[in-house]
Structure 1
Amino acid sequence: MSPAFPGNGASICLLDSRSIDLAQLTQYETWLGPAETARYARFVRPLRRRQFLLGRALLRVAMGEMLEVAPESIALEERSGQAPRLLAPAGGPYFSISHSGHWVACALSGTTRLGLDIELRDPRRDVLALARQAFGAAVAADLEKLPQEERREAFYQCWSEAEARYKLGMDAGACVTLAHAELSIVLCSAAPLAHPPALLLSCLAPD
């Protein structure tokens, strides 16, 4: 399914990487540019290597469908400490990539800058300790008043929105939370979106 952009809209492609086999991974490696290949080779942890490769492949497939070009023709420039920059084709959409655990996602918009964050809600994490470290004692105290499940939901919502705003790199015109059974998903945009973002599942998986 191709990303759809009704007016000032956005789409999020979400992939469960467990659906991807070795043959697909080998194919996607050939899509990487020289700088991407060099960075890919430096990852030591297998999960992180897989997340990086599939994030770039997912972005290329989604953008290729939007622009009606072959995904392997899309060129990205590596930038240290920043999201990649689109080199070709010129005039492509705004985008943001995120990953957590076995999930990988990218967001696309033809009209506004985006910041996307997904977080796998891990019940083993001490969310109060993380909240104190990341957001301060006052936020942690508010979370502590909530029942355990609500506390976890509220923490991940706060975490994802903070990450999405950071990735956007400017004041957000709007931030939207999308429902998912396993993930906290927040998309922030520089301009308010005319419609809720479309969530497209497994758009890199084989037909």
Structure 2
Amino acid sequence: MADCAFPDSLIAMLSVLPHADATIWLADARNVDAAQFPRFASWLSGSEAARYADFKRPLRQRQFLLGRAMLRLAMGQLLGLPAADITLEERLGQAPLLLAASAGPYFSISHSGPWIACAVSSATALGLDIEQCDPRRDVLALARQAFGAAVSDALAAMPLPARMAAFYQRWSASEAACKLGQDAASSVTLAHSALSIVLCSAAPLAQPPILRTTTLASGDFP
């Protein structure tokens, strides 16, 4: 491949763009102590509690509760507040609204199977997607429907392990960009044995996002 030369004006512009940091918190719900669930539920606002009660599937209800608990713990660490003091308002078809915050901190929540993740940043809007890699899924049919025949044909030419990894990375990148809702200055894929993880950000990141695992115990969020 030929070397690419960037104009001096573009290099100068990139050098002065603000750079941000981001942290991704990741939990396997199977490792979270169910005895904590009532405490997490007590943190929910009225609109969140109403939605929580409406879920019919236990898995989806658990994803919702643990996602909101993780968000509060992560935001509390960022803002220096107890998790119980973080107030969120439910919005139909949108991410929850963080009250009493004019601009930032920013966040994005994602879940897949037993996994729940939350990305937070004090400086830039985020879009996060995680996907549990399932070898039983017909990824070629999904790719053809979502990305077109050319992508599906390219995946079909790959060995199965590479095909699964490439499909899920592309799927997560598409979902993360959609959640961000604007052009991404940064799109980062993080390595994980069971998941594809992609984080998009509106501003360039000063360094790759930090990935922290948690059981949602208070000691994980000093």
TM-score interval for Structure 1 and Structure 2 normalised by the shorter chain? over 0.9
- Tell me if the contact between 2:104 and 2:123 (Cα under 8 Å) persists in the aligned partners: no
Identify the range of structure 1 (132-141 vs 166-175) with the bigger mean alpha-carbon deviation: 132-141
Q: In structure 2, what is the equivalent of residue 56 of structure 1?
A: 68
Superposed CA RMSD: 1.3
Please report how far the alpha carbon of residue 205 of structure 1 lies from its aligned counterpart in structure 2 after TM superposition. 3.5
Counterpart of 2:136 in structure 1 is: 124
Aligned to 2:155: 143
- The residue correspondences of 1:68-83 to structure 2 (distance < 5 A) are 68-83=80-95
* Structure 1 residue 193, shift from structure 2 partner: 0.4
**1:12 is aligned to 2:28:** no
Q: Where does residue 162 of structure 1 map in the other structure?
A: 174
For normalisation by structure 2, the TM-score amounts to: 0.87
Q: 1:76-95 counterparts in 2 under 5 A? A: 76-88=88-100, 91-95=103-107
- Percentage identity across paired residues of the two chains: 62
CA distance in 2, matches of 1:50, 1:90: 30
CA contact (8 A) 1:54 1:104 kept: yes
Q: Displacement of 1:88 after TM fit?
A: 3.3
Give the aligned partner of residue 109 of structure 2: 97
Distance 2:104 2:149 in 1: 43
Select the residue among 57, 60, 64 that pairs with 1:45.
Answer: 57
- SS class of match (1:200): strand
Greater shift in the superposed pair: 147-156 or 87-96? 87-96
CA contact (8 A) 1:127 1:152 kept: yes
* Matched length: 201
Q: What SS class does the counterpart of residue 124 from structure 1 fall into?
A: coil
Structure 1: gaps of 5 or more residues: 1-6
Corresponding residue number in structure 1 for 2:11: none
Q: What TM-score, normalized to structure 1?
A: 0.94
**Is contact 2:107-2:126 (8 Å) kept?**
yes
Contact 1:15 1:205 in 2 (8 A): no
- CA deviation map 1:171-190 (0-9, x unaligned): 11110000001000000001
Q: Work out the CA distance in 2 between the residues paired with 1:26 and 1:184.
A: 30
Q: Counterparts of 2:216 and 2:194 in 1: how far apart (Å)?
A: 19
Q: Quote how far apart the aligned CAs of 1:84 are.
A: 0.8
2:197 to 182, 185, 195: 185
Does 1:134 pair with 2:146?
Answer: yes
- The offset of 1:81, in angstroms, is 0.8
Which residue, 176, 194, 201 being the options, matches 2:206? 194
Cα distance in structure 1, aligned partners of 2:34 and 2:161: 37
Consecutive unaligned residues of structure 2, counting only runs of 5 or more, are: 1-18
SS at structure 2 position matched to 1:159: helix
For 2:93 and 2:141, how far apart are their aligned partners in 1?
A: 26
